[in-house]
Copies of this chain bind each other. A is one copy, B any other.
């Protein structure tokens, strides 16, 4: 139930809990895949029909600020938001159903630092995503 945790966190940061925010938060928290603002709008309106698209944008912005959600970049677009994982994790995304799964990659840090050294770069951050087909989409 990360939705409740998110709402608590929003409250802790001094933000008010409104039906509009609850609808957006629950929609993103429960989705197995990254959603665009427009998709969040459509889904969240099933919970709260008078929701405005502007509020979706503003709420997603706050969720990103608080590191509860993160933007996911894919070939088909860079505006989708996904629930964030604990710690520094990386994404594995199904190209068919878009389902996203996190995985650990601690082992990689040393390698990245080493690559940086070779090119006289001080590596501070990295960005890694794997794409493939998940079990459910293997056939069909």
A: residues with CB less than 8 A from B are: 73, 78, 92, 94-95, 101, 103, 105, 107-108, 111-112, 115-116, 118-135, 138
In the complex, A133 Cα to B122 Cα: how many Å? 5
In the complex, A112 Cα to B129 Cα: how many Å? 10
A101 to chain B, nearest CB (A): 5
- Are B92 and A119 neighbours in the complex by a CB distance under 8 Å? yes
**How many copies of the chain does the oligomer comprise?**
2
Query: With contacts A92-B116, A103-B115, A118-B103 known, is A132 near B127, CB below 8 A?
Result: no
Report B-chain residues with C-beta under 8 Å of the C-beta of A138: 122
Least CB separation from A133: chain B residue = B122
Least CB separation from A128: chain B residue = B128
Cβ-defined partner of A121 (8 Å) among B105, B124, B133: B133
- Are A127 and B129 neighbours in the complex by a CB distance under 8 Å? yes
- Are A124 and B133 neighbours in the complex by a CB distance under 8 Å? yes
- Are A132 and B116 neighbours in the complex by a CB distance under 8 Å? yes
Least CB separation from A115: chain B residue = B103
